[in-house]
Chain A
Amino acid sequence: QVQLVESGGGVVQPGRSLRLSCAASGFTFSSYGIHWVRQAPGKGLEWVALISHDGSNKYYGDSVKGRFTISRDNAKNTLYLQMESLRDEDTAVYYCAISRSRPYWGQGTLVTVSA
């Protein structure tokens, strides 16, 4: 079955960087675009970024454009999110997700940006 497991979250100071990973299994990883979605404490769900199946196309939400970079390694079945210049408002649980016949989500990893 489809499994998505995020890792790399933690506490980081404002202005610093962090890289999240998402390990995928149970499907042909290289055939699917993959998304990052986040949820800040007490807030709704926010789409963050999408990378196409082969990594050739990348899309970002306005709030992270220019600071976050999505990438993937199809040989390792792994998705990444490089986050730079982190701000307090980036504090959230970050999920990776795909859409096959239906959406599939990981369990999320918590990123806390705090001095």
Chain B
Amino acid sequence: EIVLTQSPGTLSLSPGARATLSCRASQSVSSSYLAWYQHKPGQAPRLLIYGASSRATGIPDRFSGSGSGTDFTLTISRLEPEDFAVYYCQQYGSSLWTFGQGTKVEIK
């Protein structure tokens, strides 16, 4: 099982700031099958990034993903009020999907 560790647990930032979220895997993620989701209470997780760096349809270009192997990053270039939420990384390269524990981006 691939274990994903996200850091930090909580990120306190002001609107307009840059957010950098990290996801580290216990072993290499196959073919960069790494996704990032945004989650808000009462809603289904929203796919932001897949394949480590490809934006899903309709996702603003302030969201970007990078990385390969075991180290991945989600960057939000300028936080908008609607971006304050919990973010999860997921690896889907192996049969048994795994998720990070989440990073909460909160308003400072």
Contacts and interface: CB of A to CB of B under 8 A. Distances in A.
A contact face: mostly helix, strand, loop, or mixed: strand
Bin the interface of chain B by size: 20 to 34
B99 A44 contact: yes
A103 B99 contact: no
Given A37-B97, A47-B96, A102 B44 contact: no
Interface in B61-108: 88, 90, 92, 95-102
A44 B44 CA distance: 12
B90 A45 contact: yes
Contacts of A108: 44
A59 B44 CA distance: 23
A105 interface: yes
B3 interface: no
A99 B45 contact: no
Interface in A91-115: 93, 95, 99, 101-103, 105-108
Query: Interface range on chain A: under 10, 10 to 19, 20 to 34, or 35 or more?
Result: 20 to 34
A59 B56 contact: no
26 contacts: A33-B95, A37-B97, A39-B39, A39-B45, A44-B88, A44-B102, A45-B45, A45-B99, A47-B96, A47-B97, A47-B99, A50-B95, A50-B96, A59-B95, A59-B96, A93-B44, A95-B45, A99-B92, A101-B50, A102-B35, A102-B47, A102-B51, A102-B54, A103-B50, A105-B45, A108-B44
Interface of B: 33, 35, 37, 39, 44-45, 47, 50-51, 54, 56, 88, 90, 92, 95-102
